[in-house]
Structure formats: structure tokens, C-alpha cells
Amino acid sequence: MAGTNPTPTEYIQHHLQNLTFGLHPDHGWSIAHSAQEASEMGFWAIHLDTMGWSIGLGLIFLWVFKKAANAATTGVPGALQNFVELMVEFVDNSVKDTFHGKSKLIAPLALTIFCWVFLMNLMDLVPVDFLPMLAAKIASLFGADPAHVYFKVVPTTDVNATIGMSLSVFALIIIYTIRAKGFSGFIGELTLHPFNSPNKLVQALFIPVNFLLETVTLLAKPISLALRLFGNLYAGELIFILIAMIGLWQLPLHFTWAVFHILVITLQAFIFMMLTIVYLSMAVEKH
């Protein structure tokens, strides 16, 4: 918000607003100049900063691991190869200990989730004003008002991103369940558990109750997966923003919170990966 003296509330709101592009009822296809305009664009609006950073960080992950794979040697490995082999072995052991089925997809999926989510979380350690101010200065060169340039750099503080990832996991849960047990087995899991009875009539009475309970349990998986990651990173980002507002003492406080937040960043990436493995393992287990 270069060239302005925002109040604390305006400062916080500005840093928590995404760069939104969509169809506005009055302005047509455009970038939102306020939170209200972003809201008026509706469901199909897209957060350009979230998409840009998440895709960019995903490409960085692919590039680093591909570079390590191309340079891999059976001789004395370099630092990059050692790091990549360590990550692959760590994820591989986690999958072997947790996933009880057979699938060539789970280990690469788990590795991608852990590294990608970790990189997105890691952006939380960048000083909150640095990249937004840089974006505002670049935008001002093209005639844009810096006060209307929003730029969030932590994709996992956008609930749309975390829900998008969790819905992908949810789709895999459904696919793996049907592939392992058939469509009838999938319906059976929703209607014949947890209450059952050898009496056919009693079991028929249990079906609506079972269906309600199991459907809630099934839908709770992607919701909890998304909101856990979003909530922890959003809270961490908000604390960084509050620290940035206090002026002279922000550097030592930023460093102290960043050291602690490294644990949160790593732990949340690990939890997202492990829950994905656990959910997919439960999908292929037969009861």
C-alpha cells in the first residue's frame, strides 16, 4: 500500500485479500479493486496470486527433482542427490508403513504432496511486506493504483487452494474404494456399517442410520484435510502481519516466530501427506 497511511484494520485486510480476476456485473472481466468487488464476482472468480504461486512452486519442485534424477550417479552423490534420495526414502518408508494395498501411484503422490505443500507453506517465512510492495511498484509502472494491488504469496492461506487439493484426494478415495471393492462394495460400506444385524428386517431399518453416519464420516475427510492446513497457515500468516505492524521490534519478533513456524510448516505438510496415505489405505481395506 505504497504512498498511503493505512489504519491497522486496513493494513490487515489489504494483506489478507487475494488478487482476484473475474466477471464483475458492472465492469465486465477485470481485476477486483476491493474486497467487495471480489465478492461481487461470485464463485467463478479466480485468485491469480494463489494460482501463480502454487503452479510456480509445483514447477520448481518438478525441476529440482528432475535435475537430481538426470544427474544421479552410482558414485559419490552430490548434495542435491543426497537431499532428493533422503526425501524419497522418507516418503517411501512412510507409505510402506501405512498403506496396506498395492499401488504405483501412492508413493509418487505422497512425495508430491509433501514437497509441494511444504514449498507453499514455506512462503510464509518471506517478510509480509516484501513481495506485495514489489508487486505494487511493478503495477504502478503500468499505471495501476498501488493501493488496489493485492498480492498474497502463501497459497495455503487461501481456503480455495486447500479445498481444491483435498477434493482431489477425495476423488482418489472414491476411485480406490470402487476399484478395490466394486460399486456394490462401496454402497455396502455406506449402508451396512457400523450397525448390522443378521436379521434382514432389522438390518433394513439400520440402513438409513448407517448411510447418514457413513456419509458424514466420508465428507468430513476432505473438509478436515482442507481446513486443518488452511487454519494453521492462515493463523501463522496473521501473526506475521501483526508483527509487521509494530515497527522497530518486528525483526527480532519475526525471527523468533519464524523459527517456531518452521515446525508448523513442516508438520502441516507431513500431516496432509500422512492423512492422504491413511485415507487411501482405508479405501482399499476390506472389512
Q: List the pLDDT tens digit at each of the 287 positions of the chain.
A: 544 577 888 888 888 999 999 999 888 899 998 889 999 999 899 999 999 999 999 999 999 999 999 988 887 888 999 999 999 999 999 999 999 888 899 999 999 999 999 999 999 999 888 899 899 889 888 877 887 889 999 999 999 999 999 999 999 999 999 999 999 999 999 998 888 888 889 888 999 999 999 999 999 999 999 999 999 999 999 999 988 888 666 778 888 888 999 999 999 999 999 999 999 999 998 76
Is-catalytic flag, 228?
A: yes
Q: Given the DSSP bridges, would you call strands 20-24 and 46-47 parallel, antiparallel or unpaired?
A: antiparallel
- Alpha helices (runs of H) in the chain, residue ranges in sequence order: 8-15, 35-40, 48-70, 79-98, 106-122, 130-141, 159-191, 200-244, 250-284
From 30, 168, 228, 281, active-site residue: 228
Total Cβ atoms within 10 A of residue 143: 6
Whether 13 and 241 have beta carbons less than 8 Å apart is answered as no
Has 70 been annotated as catalytic?
no
**Among this protein's residues, is 224 annotated catalytic?**
yes
| Pick from 231, 244, 243: nearest CA to 158 | 231
Q: Which of these is catalytic: 39, 93, 199, 224? A: 224
Cell 529440482 sits at which residue?
Answer: 64
Specify the pLDDT at position 248. 63
The three-state secondary structure class of 10 is helix
Which grid cell sits at 4? 498511503
18, 94, 210, 232: the catalytic one is 232
